[in-house]
Amino acid sequence: MGDADSMDDRFAGSIPHVYDTYLVPLIFEPYAADLARRLSAMSVSRVLEIAAGTGVLTRALAAALPADVEIVATDLNQAMIDHAAEVGTSRAVVWRQADAMKLPFADGSFDAVVCQFGVMFFPDKGRAFAEARRVLRPGGVFVFNVWDTLADNEVPDIVTAAVASIFPDDPPRFLARTPHGYHDTVVVARDLAAGGFAAAPEVFTVEARSRAASARIPAIAFCQGTPLRNEIEARDPARLREATEVAAAALAQRFGSGAIDGKICAHVFVVRA
């Protein structure tokens, strides 16, 4: 079995398609709209998005920001960038593969750096924050969000428990460890300071709803559209379908046979360079 930490950023194979089809509308779109609204209220002319994934925030930014605002969208994973570029945006953006911990841009070249649910994946968060700080002009703004605890995000919490039930001796913990593992706002503020942000960040806790037409949709989203899939298949490749069905059954037990409507919660950070 591969090392868990090395598997957490492995968005490859069919994951980008499943991610964009199922997971994006389930949990990401409300927060993309929130970040785009925040950026649209600021005076910016050049915006860098890091860890853009399949482009849900990129699409929201392209729609919300004035047409003369340049948007550069990057991600470590070329497969995610390729999928995002194929889906496209309402206007032109620059797509580029880039490592957030070693950005290929000049100092002070952006008015804003924005990141939707990506900082949790950075192996060295202080270093990544230092890079965001470096490419910001003086007075520029870094805006990003992180998920709150797994317990405060009902659907992934249920999926995690359900999948653990079929691997009791070695439960897959990707969702708890990585997406929901960086929720302590004091720790995040400390890492920002380590990255050179002298000002204290503004922190906003934003609740939303995770909705789907059926229990099967979030089961597929989390079990097959995130690196949780890598953990399941590392334990037993033949049990991915079973894990998905067990997760769907647990969600149906909680929400009923119809639509899913669960609480989700995240923290939004806004900090000036």
pLDDT score of 21:
87
User: What single DSSP character describes residue 98?
Assistant: -
Residue indicated by tokens 């995610």: 80
- Amino acid (1-letter code) at residue 223: C
Residue 233 tokens read as 């298949």
How, if at all, do strands 110-116 and 202-212 pair?
unpaired
The number of domains in the chain is: 1
| 17 confidence band (pLDDT: 50, 70, 90) | confident
Q: At what angle do helices 228-235 and 216-224 cross, to 10 degrees?
A: 80
Residue 129: CATH number of its domain:
3.40.50.150
Helix, strand, coil percentages for the chain (3-state, nearest 5): 45, 20, 30
pLDDT in tens, 102-135: 999 999 999 999 999 999 999 999 999 999 999 9
pLDDT in tens, 24-41: 999 999 999 999 999 999
pLDDT in tens, 205-256: 999 999 999 999 999 999 998 999 999 999 999 999 999 999 999 999 999 9
pLDDT score of 7:
43
- pLDDT > 70 in the chain, percent: 95
Global pTM value: 0.92
pLDDT score of 20:
85
Facing residues of 212 across strands? Answer: 260
pLDDT in tens, 177-194: 999 999 999 999 999 999
- pLDDT > 90 in the chain, percent: 89
| Domain membership of residue 120 as a residue range | 4-272
Q: Using DSSP, state whether 35 is helix, strand or coil.
A: helix
